[in-house]
Each structure stands twice: as C-alpha cells, then as structure tokens.
C-alpha cells in the first residue's frame, strides 16, 4: 500500500523544503549545515561509489571537497518523484547537477540521479540514505547486450 495518496501536502512540502535547504548549504560551501540535513547514522553513497557512514564523516568529506575541487561550486536539483512508504518514511528520486565555479552552466554529462530516503524524527524530516549515480548514455557494449537480452517478437502474431 502506498501512503502517498493519504499523506498531507504539508509533509511533501516539508521534504521539498529540506531538499532546498540541502542545496543552499552546498551552494554556501557549508559542510556542517549540509550534513545536518542528514541523520546521525546516514548512509551516503557518492557518484564514484564511495560510501560515507554517519553525519560527522559526511561533514568531513564534504568540507574537504568544498575546500578543494568543489570550492565555489553550486548544486541544482529537481524532484522527479516522492512517495511515502510509511507516514514517517519517504522515498525520493531527484536529478541534480554540480556546476563548478568556472563554468557558466553545468555540463550535460555531469547530471546524476539520486535515490534518497527521508525519515521524520521528532517532527523534522532528515535524509537517512542517499545514493548518487551519474546518468550516462549506454555505450556500444551496453547497447549490444540490451539487444541480445531483449526477446524477439514473433512475426506470426
């Protein structure tokens, strides 16, 4: 059963506001505030497959990025889907992109899709799991494998 049909729009708005706060913190280069949007025990998987566990580790990893290669970068994203798995648990899919400080616009090849799990604790929504995957067009090998794995339709139909 999906709880989305019965859930109040205020909860959806609160989660969207939390996402906007997340983006603002990134854009300000504030790793502590960024990490505060997540639970203490967050599981955070970056686009390169690195797995960060815990809010403090998240803050430290992002501070190193904000002090280095991602200094002055901006994060932009949009919600693609949001559904409630329980009254206090939501599954969110977003698409986002990081624009580096010297770029006028973010390159198309840097778009990513994120799967995020939000939980409501003591009246506040936090993100407790995050998976970021770079969106890439299939290469020639992947296209061949898809073609070989797709059942052929019978001409007799």
- What is the tens place of the pLDDT at every residue in 107-133? 878 899 999 999 999 999 999 999 999
> Please, which residues bridge with residue 80 across strands?
none
In sequence order, what are the residues at sequence separation of 6 or more whose Cβ sits closer than 8 angstroms to the Cβ of residue 132? Answer: 45, 46, 47, 112, 113, 114
* pLDDT tier at 5, thresholds 50, 70, 90: low
Q: Is the pLDDT of residue 134 over 50?
A: yes
Q: Quick one: average pLDDT of 87-102?
A: 95
Q: How confident is the model at residue 1, as a pLDDT?
A: 44
Mean pLDDT of 97-104: 92
Q: Which residue has the higher pLDDT, 130 or 48?
A: 130
% of the chain at pLDDT higher than 90:
73
Q: Which domains does the chain have, with CATH numbers?
A: 9-149 (3.10.450.50)
Say what the pLDDT of residue 145 is: 73
pLDDT of residue 90: 97
- DSSP letter for each residue of 63-120: HHHHHTTTTT-EEEEEEEEEEEEETTEEEEEEEEEEE-TT-SS--GGG-EEEEEEEEE
**The model's pTM:** 0.82
């Amino acid at each position: 059963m999906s709880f989305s049909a019965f859930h109040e729009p205020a909860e959806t708005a609160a989660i969207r506001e939390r996402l906007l706060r997340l983006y603002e913190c990134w854009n300000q280069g504030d790793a502590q505030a960024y990490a505060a949007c997540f639970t203490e025990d967050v599981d955070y998987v970056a686009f390169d497959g690195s797995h960060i566990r815990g809010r403090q580790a998240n803050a430290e990893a992002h501070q190193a990025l904000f002090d280095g290669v991602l200094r002055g970068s901006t994060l932009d994203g949009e919600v693609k889907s949001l559904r409630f798995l329980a009254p206090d648990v939501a599954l969110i899919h977003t698409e986002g992109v990081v624009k580096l400080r010297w770029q006028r616009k973010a390159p198309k090849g840097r778009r990513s899709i994120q799967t995020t799990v939000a939980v409501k604790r003591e009246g506040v929504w936090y993100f407790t799991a995050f998976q970021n995957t770079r969106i890439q067009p299939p290469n020639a090998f992947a296209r061949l494998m898809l073609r070989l794995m797709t059942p052929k339709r019978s001409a007799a139909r």
